[in-house]
Structure 1
Amino acid sequence: MANVVDIQVVPPPLPASWAPPASTGKATAPLVERRLLPAGPAYLAHVKRAVHKLTFEEHDQHAENERKRLEALNGTGVNGEDDLGVGDEEEGDDLLLLDPKEWKKQDHYRVLGLSHLRYKATDEQIKIAHRKKVLKHHPDKKAGVAGDANDDAFFKCIQKAFEVLTNPERRRQFDSVDPYFELLEADVPTPTQLKNAKNLNKFFFETFGPVFEREARFSRKQPVPMLGSYEDSKATVEAFYDFWYNFDSWRSFEYHDKEVNEGSDHRDDKRYTEKKNKAERARRKKEDTARLRDIVDRALAHDPRIKRIKQEEKEAREAKKKNKGGAANGASQKQKEEEERKKKEEEEAKRKEEEEKAARAEAKKAKAAAANAAKKARRQQRAAEGDA
């Protein structure tokens, strides 16, 4: 059981030279009531604890979890600075055992921990990734540590990767033959898959969309039209395929060029090697152009928008034809009515003409009869006068 001991605290005596302070003789300022506003990190922490009913330990744990979440979201670089999303990729044993002499066969983005960014990595991100790797794998930091005999070799791979990716021309050559994307080039939907797809609209856009997005990075002309959606207009679809059938690619294959035999300075050897490299680059370029053309042909042959557009055009033609036929029938009916009207008018005119002709004949006949009667009356009168 613990024992409690009271300790008397006795203040030390005042020094002999101490004296009370002299009065200044000034009046004391009047009291003023002021309103104090609570602020500061301590007050905010108190509010959080009060609102969420947390203990000090629970609040500290919550703050630590939030710090880790933000660190995972934004990433932290050297000395706690923002690393622009570079992060820290896992380094497998196969990566750490790379041979710097085989640098052309290596994935430089993976060496620097930029596999998730690749050709989208900015110059600043490449510098940050390189600085991280140097601080971690510099030979001076590993000197005398057992099991790190190959760290010097991997450090050379890091330096070579940084050298390639910071040179715009050499980086473009490496991006042209990026091993990661070369593996994805075969990931294109086959005609059989497109034919057997239950929902062609959804399958077509979900599978071909990423394909054209990958290929777009090689275009000299920017921006590049993407696949779009099922509701695109005819003009949009035609512009898309027109662009991709005339695709202007900057992709080249110098990265695979073979070096001149080591130790050979003969001019003919250099010319022969360069000739072989040039022919090989042309062959690879031709194959790549044919590969892209095959992708565009396959997309055009199975594009559901083409079928929709053709159906819409067919319906428009039929509607136009129907409207044209109705207009023709209307015109024909009107013309028939006009002909009947004219026929009736002609018959009426002919009837009137006949009536007038008959009337004239009757009038002429009556006139002749009247003349004959007058003539007969004069003969009778002359005969009567003769008898008298």
Structure 2
Amino acid sequence: MSATQPITPISISLPVASTSAAPTTLSKPVQRKLVPVGGAYAAHARRQASGKTFDEDDAAVKAENERLAEEERKNQPEDDGVGEEPESKELLQTSDPKNYKALDMYAILGLSNLRYKATQDQIRLAHKKKILRHHPDKKAGRGGDANDDRFFKCVARALEILDNPERRKQFDSIDETYSDKIPDAKTKGDFFEVYGPVFDRESRFSETPVPSLGGADAPRDQVEEFYNAWYNFVSWRSFEWYDKEINEGSENRDDKRYTEKKNKSDRAQRKKEDNARVRTLVDNALAADPRMKKFRQDDKAAREAKKNKAKGITTDPKKAKEDEAIKAAQEAAAKEEQVKKDAASKANKATDKKAKEAARKNLSKSKKAIKQIVTDNNYFQPPGSTPSANDIELQLNELDLIANGLEPEETAELKKSLDGTPDVAAKREAIVSSAKKLLDVGKVESGRFQQFV
């Protein structure tokens, strides 16, 4: 405190309480010295000395606390590759120690960049840093809420999990920051760039070391060893992290046994699905591996050479190589030609689709226009008369039969002929002529037309 004013004791006369059971008079006053002390007085003295208002003083105190906290972070050891990971507001405010299975244990300790690669020393060092920063007493000193110790408890829980090899393995087994997706058989791209990182990712779950994918020039025995190892892959993933908690306080033994049985069944199912996923990965890789394709071609060539030798046919290696190159070129050309044909077919289909769509729209417009012409001409009734509802319905239905039976071009031509003549009788005759045409070719059954006959 930087106050310059001296603290002056205050003398106040206070009555002394009587110890008798039934006092009748007050005791005589005595002198007591009161000295102003405590946080409230210290803040008052600080404001008096600095001449700041309450808001200004609060802002100054907050800035000083932030400066001290930043200085504390800088002075903390950053050795062993742990460093200082930023803490998001969401992480600090939503982490709940009661729902610990939903927590990202590595993010809680600031080890998101290391995760399963973090050593036990790094985990303990990261825990120490978090404890120093988030201890309730430290929060109170920085003006925080000392009663909100949820994140502090999450830090303790994270150490409890990650410092125990068995519990850590359970968490690493389901770490959701790692993708379980695998390339499918149709995935395009460089084989080694597509599959290499996936096998590296999956290899950490192996109970025994497994070989890496290798490169395009890997020898045959190395490639075969790779696939043999992965077809016999044994994963240590247990999926126990997903187990439903057993209520140890429950006296119902049947409930406990059911929960244990259900957990065991769910773990077995997840294990089965994960093994199938890895097997599918290996199957897809084997089918797409260009090295295996080359080995099969070499085997085929060797069988052919052996077969020809048995028949007394000598094969010039140079000519065989030339023939193979010609065949490969022909296959490449055929493949390229097929790609062009597929592209042209796709383009033609798109054009046909657009043409059909345009024809459909034009047909719809023509149908509406023909119906409107019939309506405008009073459904071909004599002048001064009103068509009945039955006549209207019959004519509209028969117009639909005609429009649906004619080709789109014929429907458009009918509309054109109706537009081209002002004579009502000629208009009706054009429609009747179209109806007769449909009857003649059998597109419409006899007797369907009653109005336009």
Aligning the two structures, in what range does the TM-score lie when normalised by the shorter sequence? 0.5 to 0.7
Give the alignment of 1:200-349 within 5 angstroms.
203-222=190-209, 224-261=210-247, 263-321=249-307
Q: Percent identity?
A: 58
Pairs within 5 Å for 1:1-388:
81=77, 83-97=79-93, 98-143=95-140, 145-146=142-143, 148=145, 152-181=149-178, 184-186=179-181, 188-194=182-188, 197=189, 203-222=190-209, 224-261=210-247, 263-321=249-307
Using the size of structure 2 for normalisation, the TM-score is 0.50
- 2:212 aligned counterpart, secondary structure: coil
Letter of the 2:183 partner, please give it: P
Whole-angstrom CA distance in 2 between matches of 1:274 and 1:215: 29
Cα distance change on mapping 1:321 and 1:100 into 2, 3 Å: same
Give structure 1 stretches of 5+ with no counterpart: 1-76, 198-202, 330-388
1:133–1:305: structure 2 CA closer, same or farther, 3 Å change rule?
A: same
Higher relative contact order (CA 8 A, sep 6+): 1
CA distance in structure 2 between the partners assigned to 1:143 and 1:131 by the alignment: 19
Equivalent residues, number: 243
Distance 2:293 2:145 in 1: 62
Cα pair distance change 1:327/1:192, threshold 3 Å: closer
How many Å apart are 1:266 and its aligned residue?
2.0
**Secondary structure of 2:149 counterpart:** helix
Letter in 2 for 1:117: L
* RMSD across aligned positions (CA): 2.5
1:52-85 deviations in Å (ceiling 9; x for gaps): xxxxxxxxxxxxxxxxxxxxxxxxx985645211
Consecutive unaligned residues in structure 2, runs of 5 or more: 1-72, 316-453
Cα displacement (A) at 1:189: 2.3
User: How far did residue 180 of structure 1 move?
Assistant: 1.0
Number of the residue aligned with 1:368: none
After the TM superposition, list the runs of 4 or more consecutive aligned residues in structure 1 that deviate by more than 2 angstroms. 77-82, 144-151, 188-194, 260-263, 312-329
Measured at CA, do residues 301 and 328 of structure 1 come closer, stay the same or move farther in structure 2, by a change above 3 Å?
closer
Q: Which residue identity does 2:120 align to in structure 1?
A: D
Amino acid at match of 2:281: I
Per-residue deviation at 1:144? 5.7
State how far apart, in whole Å, the 2-side matches of 1:173 and 1:265 are. Answer: 28
Contact residue 173 and residue 238 of structure 2 kept, 8 A? yes
After alignment, is 93-102 or 312-321 more displaced? Answer: 312-321
1:96 and 1:150 in contact (8 A); partners too: no
Q: C-alpha separation between the residues in 1 aligned to 2:104 and 2:314? A: 72
Structure index of larger Rg: 1
Query: In the superposition, relative to structure 1, how do residues 165 and 328 fare at CA in structure 2: closer, same or farther (>3 Å)?
Result: closer
1:93 is displaced (CA, Å) by 1.2
The letter of the residue matching 1:313 is D
